[in-house]
């Protein structure tokens, strides 16, 4: 539309008269450029129409799910509250451990310096606290993903009755929490542990160049195996 308006400004008073001015030439080039961009965007939209329709359907279904089960809106607040209540004390405890070291003085070229020195036991405690911090963080995130998945699948597989979804529990989020702690908390904990180590493995693979075809077959085989393993380490793979 904008491109057509610029072209209209060029041709409304005559082609030759308008093309003699610099402003008309600018309008012409801008109009042609905008029309070209519009054509490219239209072609891309036509090419990816199926994907756009799928995304639109997913968004529509998500909105319907949220409006029909409003308790799901409490899930982000619940997740943040758990992180604050569980990760906050761990972070505070780690800071106390770091600050509990012994202050040691050393000299460099006659200039005194000081640094914290920790015992092996203190280092073990700090490493264990960091390990628990990241494990609990992954566990809370996994439980959050499970609650969303549980609520969505219960809504999706509820049959329609006269164009409306059938009767569902008034607080599906609470039902998901009960189901989680009754049947799946061990799976969530073990999956969070795997994902915690897998995250570092995936970051390492992103930093490494992927082996190309035609290179050393052993390196190529090992590299493809590592990438295939990293592809299976997804946050919802064990749900």
User: CA nearest 132: which of 101, 105, 97, 106?
Assistant: 97
> In angstroms, what CA-CA distances link 156 with 65, 68, 149, 166?
8, 11, 10, 11
Confidence at residue 16, expressed as pLDDT on a 0 to 100 scale: 45
Confidence at residue 231, expressed as pLDDT on a 0 to 100 scale: 66
- Which helix (H) or strand (E) covers residue 148, if one does? helix 120-156
User: Does a structural domain hold residue 36?
Assistant: yes
Dist CA 66 CA 57 (whole Å): 14
User: Does a structural domain hold residue 95?
Assistant: no
User: Does a structural domain hold residue 30?
Assistant: yes
Task: List Cβ neighbours of 166 (8 Å cut-off, separation of 6 or more).
Answer: 158, 159, 160
> In a structure prediction context, what are the per-residue pLDDT tens digits for the chain, which is 239 residues long?
554 545 555 555 554 455 555 565 566 666 667 677 777 777 777 777 777 777 777 788 778 778 888 888 888 898 999 999 999 999 999 998 888 888 877 777 777 777 788 888 888 999 999 999 999 998 998 898 888 888 888 888 877 777 677 777 777 888 888 888 888 888 888 888 888 887 777 777 677 666 666 666 666 677 666 666 666 666 655 55
Confidence at residue 234, expressed as pLDDT on a 0 to 100 scale: 66
User: Does a structural domain hold residue 97?
Assistant: no
Note down the domain range covering 7: 1-68
User: Does a structural domain hold residue 51?
Assistant: yes
User: The whole model's pTM is what?
Assistant: 0.68
Distance of CA 159 to the CA centre of its chain: 31
Question: Across-strand partners of 111?
Answer: 108
User: Does a structural domain hold residue 56?
Assistant: yes
User: Does a structural domain hold residue 7?
Assistant: yes
Query: Are the beta carbons of 94 and 132 closer than 8 angstroms?
Result: no
Distance of CA 212 to the CA centre of its chain: 28
User: Does a structural domain hold residue 208?
Assistant: no
Domain count within the chain: 1
């Amino acid at each position: 539309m904008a491109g057509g308006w610029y072209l209209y400004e060029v041709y409304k008073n005559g082609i030759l008269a308008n093309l003699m001015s610099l402003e008309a030439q600018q309008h012409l080039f801008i109009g042609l450029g905008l029309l070209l961009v519009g054509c490219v965007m239209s072609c891309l939209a036509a090419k990816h129409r199926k994907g756009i329709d799928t995304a639109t359907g997913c968004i529509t279904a998500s909105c319907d799910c949220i409006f029909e089960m409003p308790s799901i809106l409490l899930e982000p607040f619940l997740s943040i509250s758990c992180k604050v209540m569980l990760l906050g004390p761990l972070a505070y405890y780690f800071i106390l451990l770091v600050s509990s070291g012994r202050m040691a003085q050393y000299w460099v070229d006659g200039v005194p310096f000081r640094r914290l020195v920790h015992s092996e036991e203190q280092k073990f405690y700090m490493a264990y606290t960091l390990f628990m911090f990241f494990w609990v963080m992954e566990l809370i995130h996994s439980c959050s993903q499970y609650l969303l998945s549980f609520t969505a699948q219960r809504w999706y597989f509820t049959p329609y009755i006269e164009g409306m979804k059938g009767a569902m529990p008034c607080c599906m989020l609470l039902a998901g929490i009960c189901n989680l702690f009754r049947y799946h908390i061990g799976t969530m904990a073990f999956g969070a542990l795997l994902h915690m180590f897998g995250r570092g493995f995936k970051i390492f693979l992103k930093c490494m160049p992927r082996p190309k075809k035609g290179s050393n077959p052993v390196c190529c085989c090992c590299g493809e195996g590592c990438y295939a393993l990293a592809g299976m380490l997804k946050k919802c793979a064990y749900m």
